[in-house]
Amino acid sequence: MKIWEEENQCYVRAAMEQNTPEENEALRKRFEEIDWSVFEHIERKETVNERGVFAPLEAVELDEIRAREAEFREIGLEEIRAGKVGAVLLAGGQGTRLGLDRPKGTLNIGIDRELYLFEQLIRNLTDVTDEAGAYVPLYVMTSNINHDDTKAFFEEHGYFGYPKDEVKFFVQEMEPACDYEKRILMESATEPAMSPNGNGGWFGSMVNAGLLDDIHGKGLEWINVFAVDNCLQRIADPLFIGATIAYGRQSGAKVVRKAAPDEKVGVLCTEDGRPSIAEYYEMTTEMATARKENGDLLYGFGVILNYLFAEKKLEEIVDAQMPIHVVEKKIPYRDVDGTYVKPEAPNGYKFETLVLDMVHMMDDCLPYEVDRAREFAPIKNLHGVDSLDSARELLRGCGVEL
Ligand code: UTP
């Protein structure tokens, strides 16, 4: 029996009772195309992250970066000028915590004037390209849900002054979603609820979108991938690129010093000898509180979703299966009585791969410390921790007029 024909699939049945035979035929065809095996990960959701043996990984810290600033900067700028650096903006998420029904990057973070999140990110990138005197190709990952709006927003605002032909959009893949009883959720009577498949598949999605030729044609050797929601994000940072190259690593991760042992950030370390990220809930108290001789935390640096990857290595790992994380989210759906419900609290599962698992596929990774007051202002919520309010405060601290 097909999964959508099972007894408990009340949302599908209710939809089919309302549809015309033609609509149901189309719906069945649509269901046939979907890979429902992702639902099997629900049983494995506790063990997806069964981990190996963690060990600390030395970061390049601010003192050293300051001391070697000129050297790192020169190497990074050279690489940018040689056209070897590209950037990928991860903007396919739905920002459900923020509760926006348009792309997160269209959020106005200004107060007395309009300043959009996308705009601020482009400005941050332009700081670098002005210094280098060369552009960095920017690829923007969207999903089917926000692609048209995202593209239209860039068009409407003249790409915020960045050359249009340096910006390319590509769409990530989608996965079905279900409620806690594994019942397929429906977006409408004729469409299942589909969600973006996480930020881990970004390189595969670029390949699927035919962008590999573009990458090769441009001769890109490094790709800096970053999240849409950190408005202080430094993109294609020459020092970060220079340090990763100077250390001879194939990847780098920007990290911030943990504010406290129990801070809820994923920590960059090694796992069975390979670079890895230990989530805060995976760390024992002993691990979280262990200190080095100089008093610093042994596992003291958290990731901020800004990574640099050697392009060649990305091609090597692109077909490898990444762990699928089962995440509880608010998923709007069509109820059995035909009403469209926008839940106030998480009501089901989405299935996502995560870019942080890509780090574990690298042979090595350089944790590169940045000053959180200057580079880390994520906007996940409207108020409170990691919010629009806190980000505005941090932006002001960096002299950005709002
Ligand atoms: P988050 O994990 O914060 O997810 O994404 P989100 O969808 O934006 O927000 P919530 O959890 O629903 O509130 C971190 C980064 O990864 C991108 C987001 O756009 C953000 O830049 N992302 C996330 C994708 O590009 N695709 C996805 O499927 C998920």
DSSP conformation letters of 264-308:
S--EEEEETTEEEEE-GGGS-HHHHH-B-TTS-BTT-EEEEEEEE
247 vs 366: CA distance, rounded Å: 8
Q: Is residue 100 part of a domain?
A: yes
The model scores a pTM over 0.85: yes
Q: What is the pLDDT of residue 51?
A: 87
198 lines ligand 1 (CB under 6 A): yes
- Tokens (6 digits) for 378: 């994520």
Total domain count, the chain? 1
Q: What is the pLDDT of residue 20?
A: 97
Q: Is residue 44 part of a domain?
A: no
Q: What is the pLDDT of residue 44?
A: 81
Ligand 1 atom closest to Cα of residue 327? 11
Ligand 1 atom closest to Cα of residue 381? 13
142 lines ligand 1 (CB under 6 A): no
55 vs 271: CA distance, rounded Å: 6
Can you list the positions of beta strands (E) in 38-127? 54-55, 85-90
112 vs 401: CA distance, rounded Å: 9
Q: Is residue 183 part of a domain?
A: yes
How far, in Å, is the centroid of ligand 1 from the Cα of 5? 32
Q: Is residue 221 part of a domain?
A: yes
Q: Is residue 300 part of a domain?
A: yes
Q: Is residue 47 part of a domain?
A: no
Ligand 1 atom closest to Cα of residue 329? 12
Question: What is the domain-level CATH number for residue 355?
Answer: 3.90.550.10
91 lines ligand 1 (CB under 6 A): yes
200 lines ligand 1 (CB under 6 A): no
Q: Is residue 402 part of a domain?
A: no
The residue contributing the CA closest to ligand 1 atom 7 is: 93
Question: Which of 38, 147, 199 is the pocket-test mutation for ligand 1 (most atoms within 8 Å of CB)?
Answer: 199
How far, in Å, is the centroid of ligand 1 from the Cα of 231? 14
Q: Is residue 43 part of a domain?
A: no
Residuewise pLDDT in 10s, the chain (402 residues): 899 999 999 999 999 999 999 999 999 999 999 999 999 999 887 776 678 999 999 999 999 999 999 999 999 999 999 999 999 999 999 888 898 889 999 999 999 999 999 999 999 999 999 999 999 999 999 999 999 999 999 999 999 999 999 999 999 999 999 999 999 999 999 999 999 999 999 999 999 999 999 999 999 999 999 999 999 999 999 999 999 999 999 999 999 999 999 999 999 999 999 999 999 988 999 999 999 999 999 999 999 999 999 999 999 999 999 999 999 999 999 999 999 999 999 999 999 999 999 999 999 999 999 999 999 999 999 999 999 999 999 999 999 999
**Could you give the residue ranges of the DSSP H alpha helices within 21-91?**
21-33, 62-67, 69-81
Phi, psi of 168 (to 5 degrees): -130, 140
In the three-class reduction of DSSP (H, G, I as helix; E, B as strand; rest coil), residue 327 is classed as strand
Structural domain of residue 203, as residue ranges? Answer: 3-38+52-397
Ligand 1 atom closest to Cα of residue 90? 25
Q: What is the pLDDT of residue 71?
A: 98
132-162 residue pLDDT tens: 999 999 999 999 999 999 999 999 999 999 9
